């Protein structure tokens, strides 16, 4: 397990838990990062407000890779602008592309996401596109230069779990890039299942932000993700189609 | 008029550096876009706002 690394944009990570930083107090970020064991944290880019003197960057421990998202973008052009602004903020060239035109279900627009991925990958960004789990779109994202593909498990913020399980499995099986399950994961058991399926990492935000004890939930996710990864690497045992199979020897019974 | 973060302001002739300093922005912690093009930090002092400019000043916040 020590040699089991997640590689994104040439950078090696031992943690496979990507932490969101939205919808909770800045003061909880340090404990969340620590208890999650997270090495990557997502951020958003918004219009600056001079009344807020505090910067989220002051709360993120050193050495954690920042993954700005392009939330708020409605098309590829806006996503590209937000990504460039994020890079200008001087915290690296990772970007999570997030393009949504639908305000009810907040579903990502795969076509615009492919366009933005192509432009930003050419500009040297490490592009992690958030997408609706569609095989053709995932192939196009890979061709466009994505460093990973981030399919949603369920509508963002819903905590509904692996609603798209079958389609995420297809991406894991067919796409030669890390598949990072993003959005909709509500419980550690669901994160564990995604990892057992062969996901490269799991991203969670709302599951933690809406939990009773955020750092404790961060720790629970960390353990679940590690357990799921170990299970995947070990190779899951087979499932019988029918009947049972004893775990005990079938000889030597106390019987005359 | 200059549109800054969606608000029309009478700021033609003012440099970006002066506007940021006067507005209480921490120039190290913001990024600026002028008419959809990034303004590098090294050019804040030379960038003079002009009528019709559309300026976006952004920073990082919590997000997923």
3-state secondary structure of A145: coil
Alpha carbon distance A207, A182 (integer Å): 11
Per-residue pLDDT tens for A21-69? 999 999 999 999 999 999 999 999 999 987 667 899 999 999 999 999 9
The predicted pLDDT at position A51 comes to 67
Mean pLDDT, residues A85-100? 96
Per-residue pLDDT tens for B4-52? 999 999 999 999 999 999 988 988 899 999 999 999 999 999 999 999 9
Alpha carbon distance A91, A125 (integer Å): 12
Alpha carbon distance B54, B64 (integer Å): 28
The predicted pLDDT at position A79 comes to 98
Highest CATH level, class, for A6-234: alpha beta
What is the nearest CA distance from A86 to chain B, expressed in angstroms? 7
Where helices occur in chain A by DSSP H, the ranges are 29-36, 76-88, 110-122, 135-144, 165-174, 188-196, 206-209, 214-234
Best probe of the B interface among A24, A47, A186, by most B CBs < 10 A, is A47
**B64 in A contact zone (CB under 8 Å):** yes
Per-residue pLDDT tens for A196-252? 999 999 999 999 999 999 999 999 999 999 999 999 999 999 999 999 999 999 889
- All residues of chain B having their beta carbon less than 8 Å from the beta carbon of residue A95 are none
CB A44 within 8 A of CB A71: yes
Catalytic site includes residue A122: no
| Domains by residue range for chain B, with CATH | 2-58 (3.10.20.30)
A46:B38 CB<8 A: no
**Domain definitions of chain A by residue range:** 6-234
The predicted pLDDT at position A157 comes to 95
The predicted pLDDT at position A53 comes to 72
With a cut of 90, say whether residue A256 has pLDDT above it.
Answer: no
């Amino acid at each position: 397990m020590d040699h089991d690394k997640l590689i994104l944009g040439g950078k090696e990570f031992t943690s496979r838990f990507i932490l969101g930083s939205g919808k909770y107090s800045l003061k909880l970020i340090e404990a969340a990062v620590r208890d999650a064991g997270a090495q990557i944290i997502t951020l958003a880019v918004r219009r600056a407000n001079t009344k807020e003197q505090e910067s989220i960057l002051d709360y993120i421990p050193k050495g954690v890779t920042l993954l700005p998202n392009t939330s708020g973008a409605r098309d590829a052009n806006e996503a590209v602008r937000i990504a460039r602004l994020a890079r200008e903020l001087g915290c690296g060239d990772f970007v999570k592309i997030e393009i949504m035109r639908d305000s009810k279900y907040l579903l990502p627009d795969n076509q615009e996401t492919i366009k933005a991925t192509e432009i930003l990958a050419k500009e040297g960004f490490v592009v992690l596109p958030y997408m609706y789990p569609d095989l053709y779109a995932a192939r196009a994202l890979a061709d466009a230069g994505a460093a990973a593909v981030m399919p949603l498990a369920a509508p963002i913020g819903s905590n509904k779990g692996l609603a798209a399980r079958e389609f995420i499995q297809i991406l894991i099986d067919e796409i030669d890039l890390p598949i990072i399950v993003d959005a909709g994961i509500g419980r550690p058991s669901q994160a564990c299942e995604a990892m057992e399926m062969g996901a490269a990492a799991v991203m969670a935000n709302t599951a933690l932000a809406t939990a009773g004890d955020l750092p404790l939930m961060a720790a629970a996710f960390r353990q679940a993700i590690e357990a799921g990864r170990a299970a995947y690497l070990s190779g899951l045992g087979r499932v019988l189609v029918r009947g049972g199979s004893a775990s005990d020897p079938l000889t030597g019974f106390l019987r005359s | 008029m200059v549109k800054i973060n969606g608000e029309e302001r009478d700021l033609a002739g003012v440099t970006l550096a002066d506007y940021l300093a006067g507005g209480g922005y921490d120039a190290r912690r913001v990024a600026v876009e002028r008419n959809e093009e990034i303004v590098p930090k090294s050019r804040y002092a030379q960038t003079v706002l002009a009528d019709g400019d559309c300026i976006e000043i952004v920073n990082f916040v919590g997000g997923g």
